[in-house]
Homo-oligomer: A and B are copies of this chain.
Amino acid sequence: MLRSCAARLNSLRGLRGLRGGFVGSSFPLKNIIHENHSLPKPCWSKGMRLLFDQMMKKCEDGSWICFPSHTYGSTKMSQDFSAFIRDYFPTASKAINKEKLSQARLFCGSFEDGLGFEYAMFYNDAEERIVCLFEGGPYLQGVPGFLHGGAIATMVDQTVGMSAILAGGVVMTANLNINFKRPVPLCSVVVINSQLEKIEGRKIFTSCNIKSVDEKTLFTEATGLFIKLEPEKNI
């Protein structure tokens, strides 16, 4: 779907090699990490914190960067992004319930700490790859003891969407094709690997898989197609 990436894009100004970015100016990589006050979170399990620390080690040589996953908000950038989208979809925009907009929260961040989507994303620019550590909380249950398929789809969209944003700036999800191989245990830690596959014109092709921490269990495979939005072009 449309990517609520304003704050993320804002935080990614400093990414080296950012293609088609939505923002112009940049600031040093260390500032991105320094701004990441929200991670790691006290509610995380030991396993999640351990993995996070391992990934942060990889960030030390600059090959990987960690970016904030819970810092979405109604920033100036967010408003600009929203206006951009509304230009594309004027009819849909008219149907927005403005009265309720003041209550709005980003879906992935709308649960209290530890109950919903707990995750941290890391990006490797040279490999065009994202690793997302994900611990799905108890409010994401499908069948008792396992994550709901919609919660998994949400994290797929969130992760491959980030790959697309890094490649294309302002993008919209056009297609998600998700193969559910095995159920994901509730409150377990899994690793989502997202890869930029190719870019053809305004189409951005991505893929991802979700595996256990030891990589022995493949839970999910998916592909995502995104369309780059450009001013004054209809989709």
A residues bordering B, Cβ < 8 Å? Answer: 1-6, 45, 74, 78-79, 81-82, 85-86, 89, 91-93, 95-97, 100-101, 103-108, 110-111, 115-116, 137-158, 161, 172-180, 182-188, 212, 217
Contacts and interface: CB of A to CB of B under 8 A. Distances in A.
B100 A142 contact: no
Nearest to A188: B95
A128 B201 CA distance: 41
A141 B104 contact: yes
Chain A binding surface, main DSSP class: mixed
B108 A4 contact: no
A101 B145 contact: yes
10 contacts: A2-B142, A2-B143, A4-B143, A6-B143, A91-B217, A96-B185, A107-B147, A110-B139, A150-B155, A151-B154
